[in-house]
Amino acid sequence: MSNWTLKGKRVLITGATKGIGLAAAREMLALGAELCINSRSQEDIDQLIEELQTDEQQVTGFAADLSDPKERERLHQMVSNSWDRLDVLVNNVGMNIRKPFDEYSPQEYRQIFETNLFSALVLTQQLFPRLKGGKGASVINVASVAGLVDVRSGAIYGMTKAAMLQMTRHLAVEWAPHGIRVNAVSPWYTRTPLAEPVLQQPERLELILQRTPLNRIAEAEEVAAAIAFLAMDKASYITGQNLVTDGGMTVSGL
């Protein structure tokens, strides 16, 4: 199993100090990657770097609120100034506001789109030159089963994730000549701060478990393992795919 590794890979993970992003950071570091982590809080980044960094493995991080176009550009510049190439980009940062469609304000739905979709779109485009120089480069978009079916998580959230999946399919074809693979991972409900308000509702939790053949909530580490696999050279013939990590929910009938 020694060749199941990310050793030598330079990896940027957005939204990396909580939930799936944090689990992905730990997983990829354990597999030998050189990490650059992002979140809105420099304090959170500094704490995580102190936890993760070793004498053998370097971890860097840059604070940026990726819902802000100026902050996205700043992150792009900092990464480009630090690395002459990028091997793996994990577009993980995301947020949600759960409410009926007719109750969203323009500010709210723009915030969700800016955070979930435009951050991934713009950062991926900006870092294209670095990815072209990468070693077996790949982009992994953390989408959601909400982009495939309605899961009562709010129309706007599902719209952003569906668009992310289409971006994945298109770029997999367009960027294949450059040797860049583009894939997505779509989790179902996972134990993260984003999902916790829903999982604390007993009736909602029971409904989620009833719809899940494996009859449990995913752990962030399980989603992180899927992300890490797609980043490996072991997945070198996989592109344009959406790895659904949902305990069987989307294929369950009766």
Q: Which positions are annotated as active-site residues?
A: 157
The SS3 call for residue 56 is coil
As a whole number of angstroms, the distance between CA 29 and CA 34 comes to: 7
Q: Please give the C-alpha separations between residue 25 and each of 11, 109, 169, 220, 238, in angstroms, as whole numbers.
A: 9, 29, 25, 11, 21
As a whole number of angstroms, the distance between CA 189 and CA 208 comes to: 8
Residue 6 CB contacts under 8 Å (≥ 6 apart), including other chains: 28, 31, 32, 33, 88, 228, 231, 232
**Strand order in 181-187's β-sheet?**
59-63, 34-39, 10-13, 88-91, 138-142, 181-187, 242-245
**Using an 8 Å Cβ cutoff, are 95 and 112 in contact?**
yes
As a whole number of angstroms, the distance between CA 169 and CA 166 comes to: 5
**Using an 8 Å Cβ cutoff, are 138 and 179 in contact?**
no
